[in-house]
Amino acid sequence: MVNADDYGLTEGVSRAIVDAATDGVVTSTSVIALGPGFAASAPWLAATAGWRPLRGWGSVPTWRRWVRTRHC
């Protein structure tokens, strides 16, 4: 898995992430929804084949859950 940070920071960053995903290099991204480039580039995420938002916080691993499951 290769994650690209800061989708939405600028349109250029967002375009580079989409291009890398289309080429099969990037498999996930984090989004800055309040970033100056997000409004223009948000539709590009939907057009990127196979990408979808996570569904619910239960599917996101957290530090607290990791510690709890390891009895630290």
54: left (phi over 0), alpha (psi -120 to 50) or beta: beta
Per the structure, the count of domains in the chain is 1
- How far, in Å, are 7, 20, 49 from residue 14 at the CA level? 5, 10, 15
Can you read off the two tokens belonging to residue 46? Answer: 């939907």
> Does residue 12 sit within a domain?
yes
**Whole-number percent of the chain with pLDDT over 90:** 36
> Does residue 7 sit within a domain?
yes
Q: What is the domain range of residue 39?
A: 3-53
> Does residue 68 sit within a domain?
no
Helix H or strand E segment including 44: helix 38-47
> Does residue 58 sit within a domain?
no
pTM of the model: 0.70
Which burial class, exposed, middle or buried, applies to 57 when counting CB atoms under 10 A from its CB (0-12, 13-18, 19+)?
Answer: exposed
The mean per-residue pLDDT over the stretch 12-27 comes to 92
- Of the pLDDT bands very low, low, confident and very high (cuts 50, 70, 90), residue 11 is very high
Residue 19 clears pLDDT 90, i.e. is over it: yes
